[in-house]
Amino acid sequence: MEKILVIGCSGQIGSELVMTLRSIYGNENVYATDIKYPTDEVRDSGPGQILDVLDFQNLLHYIVRNNITQVYNLAAVLSGNAEKIPLQAWDINMKALINTILAAQQSDAKKLFWPSSIAVFGPTTPRHNTPQLTIMEPNTVYGISKLAGERWGEYYHQKYGIDFRSVRYPGLISYKTEAGGGTTDYAVEIFYEAIRHGRYECFLSADTALPMMFMDDAINNTIRLMQTPGENLTLRSSYNVAGISFTPKQLAESIKKYMPEFKISYKPDFRQAIANSWPASIDDSVARRDWGLTQEYDLDKMTKLMLEKVEEKLK
Ligand code: AKB
């Protein structure tokens, strides 16, 4: 019987991941923690509490007391915010990971999912169809912490047998909980502004291509990776995930198919430099081969659903 802990259950990924895991493993077997209050559906459908992953003793106690066997640790300061508080972000991102690894060593929670990101790549990485193994010289605090985290995960797997699993998420697009502090957040904000005001001022330039993925695809693939027999996994650092690559201009054109009056303008800010250092598209053939990464949503299918759901939500 798996007992699963999701750390960061109130965030963009966590609020949806918890509900999907509960539908698979049973509400009572999926524990949800965060330093922020969760959504009503997360709070009301199963166990959980306010818990700070940086507080190691409390974390370990919670894991042992509830016989946790798997942890999804989603706590992180994202790329844009991390640039404003570099050393604090480094501290939070690394400590959150190391605490869950150490807790895994001292408990039965040996299986650990930790999200990495396309931010592990940098300006010297090949920008198109970025390979799984390539030059990695990230120049953002967030990217440096994600790359270091991948190395720590692989190290603890090889040396101490921790069942560490990870994907390099592209930008994630969802309607339930808004993202916060990332460079790819424009691709979520744009839908809210389209519905509210019929227009959007984008903080990236028109032709900035970045890889993105709709949340349902991200959640399904994350769970698929966690359910794959360990012997099939040839990588214990983190798997490339391509998603769909598009520019703000292409996203705006997709929105216009459903909202012809929609208007976009561009006013790049400090996040443009971050986006310029990331890949435009990704090669994820290793993930497809090892654990069957797939994806259901293309740009227009995602746009249509986002517009419908954000409109419903704002009503
Ligand atoms: C961010 O923009 O910081 C994140 C990411 C790509 O990891 N969405």
| DSSP states along 44-92 | HHS-EEE--TT-HHHHHHHHHHTT--EEEE-----HHHHHHSHHHHHHH
CA 197/CA 192 separation, integer angstroms: 8
Average pLDDT, the chain: 97
Q: What is the pLDDT of residues 37-73, one digit of tens each?
A: 999 999 999 999 999 999 999 999 999 999 999 999 9
Q: Could you tell me the distance, in angstroms and rounded to a whole number, from the CA of residue 170 to the centre of ligand 1?
A: 7
- In this structure, the answer to whether residues 38 and 177 fall within a common structural domain is no
Q: Are strands 263-266 and 199-202 parallel, antiparallel or unpaired?
A: parallel
CATH code of 186's domain? 3.90.25.10
Residue 179 pLDDT exceeds 80: no
Range of the domain at 11: 4-171+214-240
Q: What is the pLDDT of residues 278-306, one digit of tens each?
A: 999 999 999 999 999 999 999 999 999 99
Mean pLDDT value of segment 210-226 = 98
Write down the residue that tokens 């198109």 correspond to: 128
Write down the residue that tokens 């509490």 correspond to: 49
pLDDT at 178 (0 to 100):
83
Q: How many CA atoms within 13 Å lie on the side-chain side of 159?
A: 9
- In this structure, the answer to whether residues 77 and 223 fall within a common structural domain is yes
Q: Phi first, then psi: give them for residue 69, nearest 5 degrees.
A: -115, -20
- Protein residues whose CB sits closer than 6 Å to any atom of ligand 1: 78-79, 117-119, 142, 169, 171, 182-184
- In this structure, the answer to whether residues 264 and 124 fall within a common structural domain is no
- In this structure, the answer to whether residues 305 and 227 fall within a common structural domain is no
Ligand 1 pocket mutation, candidates 12, 13, 77, 78, criterion most atoms within 8 A of CB: 78
CATH code of 164's domain? 3.40.50.720
Q: Could you tell me the distance, in angstroms and rounded to a whole number, from the CA of residue 203 to the centre of ligand 1?
A: 14
pLDDT at 308 (0 to 100):
98
- In this structure, the answer to whether residues 110 and 235 fall within a common structural domain is yes
State the angle between helix axes of 86-105 and 141-160 in degrees (0 to 180), rounded to the nearest 10. Answer: 20
- In this structure, the answer to whether residues 228 and 275 fall within a common structural domain is no
Residue 82 pLDDT exceeds 80: yes
pLDDT at 226 (0 to 100):
98
Report field, pTM of the whole predicted structure over 0.85: yes
Q: Is residue 287 part of a domain?
A: no
Q: Is residue 53 part of a domain?
A: yes
Q: Are 39 and 175 in contact (CB under 8 A)?
A: no
Residue 157: alpha-carbon gap to chain centroid: 21
Q: Could you tell me the distance, in angstroms and rounded to a whole number, from the CA of residue 12 to the centre of ligand 1?
A: 11
